[in-house]
Structure formats: structure tokens, C-alpha cells
Structure 1
Amino acid sequence: MTKKILVVEDDENLVNLLRIYLVKDGYEVHCVKNGKNIMQVIKAFEPDAILLDWMLPDIEGIELCRQIRFEHDFPIIMISARTDELDIVLALEIGATEYIRKPFGFREMLTRLRIHLKRHEKEIRQQERISELLIGPFRVDLVTFKVFKDEVEIPLTKREFKLLLHLLEQPGNIKSREEIIDILDFTKGDRRTVDVHIRRLREKIEEQPSSPKWIKTKSGIGYYFNSPTKEVSYN
């Protein structure tokens, strides 16, 4: 089935080039020049991924990214001339899957897009085979991407969900910061962002975040999920 790519970019020359390269690579492409009614556009087009410019005439792409990520988990590739590290970190924390600086090579862009589409497709196939994970008081619905503790839903961002799931799947196994960076598609070497996500996750699942019961730290190495039982059940 042909993959659909939504391009949100106001530079007409770049839009035309993106359309040419994407169509040539076998994608169905729809382009818009602003963020107006973006959720309706997504509902109508049903894209498999989005190429999203940061600087748009009516709204910043970073805000669009936040809105889209709240409802959808497909790859969002931010493209921007902004090169400040804090901007890149912000985009990734908000929910961008990838950040590509302008000007960029189209072959590189296509390669990155293919990688993220394949990864997302693999995640979907895995979720279709297994619908639920159970360990201790935690229940993870792998279809709706929701986490429950004692049957009370815990509101998580996409990356918080992925991080908790990664820890839950192998209780007791220490996950290094480098491994978590790779799993969550953070910028390589961004250890600080890992610590921030762990802290936020603890604030949501722990009764006493400053003295965590579930997510433990192995000093100098990383983090692990602490459980009396190492048995994980799948339904």
C-alpha cells in the first residue's frame, strides 16, 4: 500500500522539490502552506508521516507538532533552519520523531523518512499481535497506548509511554542512558533529557517521586523497573 506523506511548508520552491522527490520515491503527497485546520486535513488525508516546517505564516510548527502528537503517533519530521541545540531538544521533547536542519540533502531526508516509517510499521504489527501487558499493579493497553495503575489511567506523553513500556518489559534489567536515548530517538549524547523524562515519569506513577518504589536508579549506569516479581504477562 502506498504511504501517504503530508508536507506542511510555506516555501513554494521547497514544496515543489519535496513533492518531486517524494512522488519519485513512491509516496502519495499532499502539501499545505499553513497550519489552518491541520487536524481536519489529517483526518481527511490520513497521512503515514508528516514533514513539518517550524516557521509557518500563521502558527509555529512546534505548536502544531504538540497538537498533532497529542492525537497521533505517526512520524513527525521537523524541518527547520533553526540550529540552536535548545530548539532541537524542544522539538524532540514536544514529540517530533526527527529534526532535519535546512538546507538538507533530499536523499538523506528520504532515508530518514523510510527508517521512521518502517519502525512505526513494525511497532503497529507488534501491537496487533499483543494487546495488553500486565505486571504488578500496572496494565498497559498496547492498542490504545494507555497505562493504568490499579485500574486508574495514568496520562503519559508518547515518549513517557515508550520509556515506561521499555522498563516494564524487562523488570530488573538496568537500562543505560545511552540505550534509552536510542529507544526514544533522542539526540545522541543527550543524557540530560533522559533524566528529565525519568523525573516526569516518576512524578506520574510514584506515590513519593523523591523516594521512588518502581523506577530505580543504578548510580552511574542507568535505570530499571523494580518489581517483586519478574514475570510479565501478555494478553
Structure 2
Amino acid sequence: MKKRILVVEDDRHMADLIQVRLKKEGYEVECVHDGLKALQVVERCLPDCMLLDWMLPKMEGIEVCRQVRYQHDFPIIMISGRTEELDIVLALELGATDYLTKPFGFRELLTRMRMHMKRFENERKCKEYVSKFSIGPFHIDLIAFKVYKNNLEIPLTQREFKVLLHLMQQPGDIQTREQIIEVLESSKGDRRTVDVIIRRLREKIEKQPSAPKWIKTKNGIGYYFHIDSKEVSYY
């Protein structure tokens, strides 16, 4: 079965070029040219990967990314002429899997697509064997990518979920910022990105983010998930 690629690009000439090239590579491709239409197409025909421009009519790509990521976990590659570090970090924080700046080479785009789709498939296969686990008051659904604390869902972005899951699965073990960057599986990331994610996680799971109980800092090294019992229950 052919992989489905959704191209969201308001430059129709560029969208057509990408579509032609991807079809030659054996993909099924659909193009849309505004953000609202992109959301509709995602719900109608779930793609295997989305190529998403930032500057779009009706709804910017960054907002499309945010809304899609709360419901779906397929790869989203943001394609944009915006090259500022803060823009790149924002896109990744809101759920983009990768960020590619214009102009770009088609072979690079194709390689990144294949890499992320393959990784996504492997993750899904692994999670078929273990669907949930719990630690302390937290329950994690590995299929739906959801985290609950005392049975209340905590809304997380994909990147927040990955970092929290990584820390929870290794309670008490200090993870350096470099190790956490690897968990994010992105070509873009730095130490500051990790600190931003940790800060947002604390705001969502801690009663007092400034005095965290769960996500602790080891000065000069990194972060770890603190809990008296290291027992993790999988089911």
C-alpha cells in the first residue's frame, strides 16, 4: 500500500513540483493550499506524513501543526523560509517532527521523510506489545500518547510526551541534556530546547513548578524523574 503524503503549501507552483517528484517516488500525494483545508483533509484521510508550510492563508502552518499534533502522531515536517532560531524552536515545541528551511533540495526532503516515517513505523510496532504503564500517580497510554495524573489527563505536545516518557521509564537516572536531545529525534535541537520542555512539563505536572517534586535538576548535569519507588508497571 502506498504511503500517503499531505503537502500543505500556498505556493501552487512549489506544491505541484513536490507532488510530481513524490509521485515519481511511488507516494500517493494530496496538496492543499490553506490551513483550514489541511485540518479537514487530515481528518478525512489520515496521511503517513505531512509537509507543512508556515505561511498559509486562513490559518498559519504553526497553528495547524499544534492542532494536528494533539490528535495525531504521524511525522510533520515544517517547511519555511523563516530561519530564526526562535521560529525553529517554536515549531518543534508545538509538535513538528523536523524543520526544513527554504530553499531546500528534494533529495534532502525525501531522506528526512523516509527517516521519520520509518522511525514512526518502528515505534508503533514496539508499542503493539506494551500499551500502558504506570508509575506513582501517573498512568501513560503508549498507544494514544496520553498521560494521566490521578486519572486526569495532562495535555502534552509530542515532544513533551517523549521527554516525560523517557524520564519516567528510567526513574532516578540522571539524563543529560544531550541524551534528551537524542530522544527528541530531530535534526534541530539544543540545550535551551531541553530546558524549555522541562519548564513546560513542570508547569503541567507539578503543584509548585518552582519547587518540583517529580522532575528534578542535577546541577551541571541534567534532569531525572524522582519517585521513592522505582517500580514501573507495564500492562
- How far apart, CA to CA, are the structure 1 residues paired with 2:6 and 2:186? 23
- How far apart, CA to CA, are the structure 2 residues paired with 1:11 and 1:73? 26
- How far apart, CA to CA, are the structure 1 residues paired with 2:152 and 2:33? 41
Which segment is superposed worse, 200-209 or 165-174? 200-209
Is residue 2:27 matched to residue 1:6? no
Alignment root-mean-square deviation, CA: 1.6
TM-score between the two structures when normalised by the length of structure 1: 0.94
Deviations 1:99-141, CA, capped at 9 Å, x for gaps: 1111100000000001110111112112221111111221111
Deviations 1:116-167, CA, capped at 9 Å, x for gaps: 1011111211222111111122111112222122223222222211111100
Is residue 2:205 matched to residue 1:167? no
1:80 corresponds to: 80
Aligned pairs, number: 235
1:69 corresponds to: 69
% identical aligned pairs: 64
Is residue 2:25 matched to residue 1:22? no
- How far apart, CA to CA, are the structure 1 residues paired with 2:188 and 2:61? 23
1:196 corresponds to: 196
Gaps of 5+ in 2: none
- How far apart, CA to CA, are the structure 1 residues paired with 2:166 and 2:68? 23
Q: State the Cα distance separating 1:200 from its structure 2 match.
A: 1.4
What letter corresponds to residue 147 of structure 1 in structure 2?
Answer: V
Q: Are the aligned partners of 1:91 and 1:99 in contact in 2 as well (CA < 8 Å)?
A: yes
Q: Are the aligned partners of 2:3 and 2:27 in contact in 1 as well (CA < 8 Å)?
A: yes
Deviations 1:43-94, CA, capped at 9 Å, x for gaps: 2221111001112233321121122112211111111111111111111111
- How far apart, CA to CA, are the structure 2 residues paired with 1:106 and 1:231? 47
2:130 corresponds to: 130
Q: Are the aligned partners of 1:141 and 1:147 in contact in 2 as well (CA < 8 Å)?
A: yes
2:223 corresponds to: 223
2:205 corresponds to: 205
Gaps of 5+ in 1: none
Deviations 1:175-209, CA, capped at 9 Å, x for gaps: 11011112114565521121121111112222222
TM-score between the two structures when normalised by the length of structure 2: 0.94
1:99 corresponds to: 99
What letter corresponds to residue 59 of structure 1 in structure 2?
Answer: M
- How far apart, CA to CA, are the structure 1 residues paired with 2:20 and 2:72? 26
Q: Residues 197, 14 of structure 1: CA spacing in aligned structure 2 closer, same or farther, 3 A cutoff?
A: same
